[in-house]
């Protein structure tokens, strides 16, 4: 009897030790989701502020986030770039980082929010099997970046209602959309956590008199609105002119009008409730699609997937897809080049002056992002 009791005690001790190890590993992994990837502001960044500067109610919450300001030597007009609206669409974050670390303003002011929904960077989407981070190789070693969720972390806003009612329009949507920041604009002070973040962004635009707002997104290859610009009707002339510049750079891109019957989106509500010229850009992200195979860092960075190659052969996609895929470098090149072309179109149309310099060309970026993501302290 004593031998059996001793055996059970040893087994229990081993199980407790294993459980403790598992708890330590899982807690470490959980806490790592709160860590933000390092961003190295370039010479063009003149100020780093917090979104709560424009709406103090979010100060100290997971919705507060950095706003990088690039002020030109000469007065001019202004542009806001929103990266990380949906953290499972990584080219938005990477494009914002590329601007923060490389761009300089000759004339005007550029505001950049790399983590628009900061809360959504602290979790991943259930049952998607996505990695929490991905890495980019640079001549100085690897850099890591967060891969997050489409929606606000449920620990910051819960529970979801059965039906989400967009406050300013009364439009009824699925309850899960209540944590999608791109269904919550222009936001409100007495709304939910996500609506308070979008309200802060609206306040930034109104208080600073931002002239152009560009929201960076990605879509699955089987989604109709892809490799496209979606523009509010007030911004259609600007978008049309910018599109010509993008096409001359070698980009195949389309233009879509912002639907008037779909509310909560940046290009609809910011265009309606502020004086900014609001547009959204989409690129092709295989790691976001429903037809993908294994979802890992390689798919996120290289954008290659044999199942999408097959789907393209059957004519099921809205973007060409072969063995080369659509790598992250190509998608970031599309976004950043588009931003530069919007600034140029704004100037060409005589609307004002926004001059951005210091950025690599479309060809240079789509080949390799690494050389342009070297921490400036190491240069």
**Cα–Cα–Cα angle for 205, 207, 211, nearest 5°?**
45
pLDDT at 272 over 90: yes
Helices 236-248, 328-348: axis angle to 10 degrees equals 120
Number of domains in the chain: 2
193 and 276: one domain?
A: yes
pLDDT level of residue 11 (50, 70, 90 thresholds): low
Check whether residue 176 and residue 290 sit in a common domain.
Answer: yes
Residues 229, 371 within the same domain:
yes
Pair (251, 165) in one structural domain: yes
Task: Report the distance separating Cα 378 and Cα 368, nearest Å.
Answer: 19
pLDDT digits (tens, 9 = 90+) for 175-194: 999 999 999 999 999 999 99
CB 81 within 8 A of CB 111: yes
* 5 and 133 fall within a common domain: no
Are 337 and 273 part of one and the same domain? Answer: yes
Q: Tell me, yes or no, whether 337 and 208 share the same domain.
A: yes
Domain range spanning residue 9?
1-32
Mean pLDDT of 307-314: 97
Q: What is the DSSP string of 197-252?
A: HHHHHHHHHHHHT-SEEEEEEEE-TTSSS-SEEEE-GGGHHHHHHHHHHHHHTT--
148: left (phi over 0), alpha (psi -120 to 50) or beta: beta
Strand 277-284 relative to strand 212-219: parallel, antiparallel, unpaired? parallel
pTM: 0.92
Listed residue (273, 290, 285, 291) closest to 210, CA to CA: 273
Residue 159: cis peptide before it, omega within 30 degrees of 0: yes
Residues 125 and 17 grouped into a single domain: no
How would residue 378 be classed by pLDDT, with cut points 50, 70 and 90? very low
What pLDDT is stored for residue 374 in this prediction?
A: 82
Considering the domain architecture, whether residues 8 and 151 belong to the same structural domain is answered as no
Q: Are residues 9 and 103 in the same domain?
A: no
CATH value at residue 295 = 3.40.630
Where is average pLDDT lowest: 15-29, 88-102, 113-127, 262-276?
15-29
The number of CA neighbours under 13 Å toward the Cβ of 227 is 19
Q: Say if residue 55 is in the same domain as residue 2.
A: no
Token look-up 């109104």 returns: 206
The two three-digit tokens of residue 109, written as one number: 């002011």
| Cβ neighbours, 10 Å, residue 35 | 13
Looking at the chain, the whole-number percentage of residues with pLDDT higher than 70 is 90
List alpha helices for 65-186, DSSP H: 90-102
Distance of alpha carbon 21 from alpha carbon 16, whole angstroms: 9
Contacts of 51 (CB under 8 A, 6+ apart): 58, 63, 64, 65, 66, 67, 113, 197, 200, 201, 204
pLDDT band at 27 (very low <50, low <70, confident <90, very high): very low
The answer to whether residues 270 and 293 belong to one domain is yes
Give the mean model confidence (pLDDT) for residues 64-73: 98
Residue 284, beta-bridge partner list? 219
């Amino acid at each position: 009897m004593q031998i059996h009791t001793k055996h059970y005690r040893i087994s229990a001790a081993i199980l407790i030790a294993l459980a403790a190890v598992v708890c330590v590993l899982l807690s470490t992994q959980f806490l790592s989701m709160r860590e933000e990837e390092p961003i190295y502001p370039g010479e063009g960044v003149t100020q780093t502020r917090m979104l709560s500067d424009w709406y103090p109610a979010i100060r100290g919450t997971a919705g507060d986030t950095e706003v990088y300001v690039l002020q030109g030597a000469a007065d001019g007009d202004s542009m806001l770039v929103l990266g990380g609206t949906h953290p499972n669409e990584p080219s938005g974050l990477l494009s914002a980082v590329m601007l923060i670390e490389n761009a300089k303003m000759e004339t005007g002011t550029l505001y950049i929010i790399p983590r628009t929904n900061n809360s959504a960077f602290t979790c991943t989407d259930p049952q998607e099997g996505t990695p929490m981070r991905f890495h980019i190789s640079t001549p100085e070693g690897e850099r890591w970046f967060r891969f997050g969720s489409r929606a606000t972390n449920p620990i910051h806003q819960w529970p979801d209602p059965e039906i989400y009612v967009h406050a300013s329009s009364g439009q009824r949507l699925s309850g899960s959309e209540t944590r999608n920041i791109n269904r919550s604009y222009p936001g409100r002070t007495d709304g939910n956590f996500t609506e308070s973040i979008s309200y802060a962004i609206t306040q930034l635009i109104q208080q600073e008199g931002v002239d152009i707002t560009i929201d960076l997104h990605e879509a699955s290859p089987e989604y109709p609105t892809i490799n496209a610009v979606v523009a509010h009707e007030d911004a259609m002339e600007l978008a049309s002119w910018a599109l010509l510049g993008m096409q001359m750079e070698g980009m195949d891109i389309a233009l879509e009008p912002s639907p008037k019957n779909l509310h909560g989106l940046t290009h609809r509500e910011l265009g309606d409730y502020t004086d900014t010229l609001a547009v959204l850009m989409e690129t092709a992200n295989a790691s976001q699609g429903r037809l993908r195979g294994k979802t890992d860092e390689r798919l996120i960075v290289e954008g290659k997937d044999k199942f999408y190659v097959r789907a393209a052969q059957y004519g099921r996609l809205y973007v060409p897809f072969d063995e080369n895929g659509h790598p992250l470098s190509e998608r970031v090149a599309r976004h950043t080049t588009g931003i530069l072309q919007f600034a140029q179109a704004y100037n060409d149309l005589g609307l004002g002056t926004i001059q951005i310099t210091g950025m690599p060309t479309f060809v240079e970026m789509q080949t390799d992002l690494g050389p342009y993501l070297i921490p400036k302290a190491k240069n």
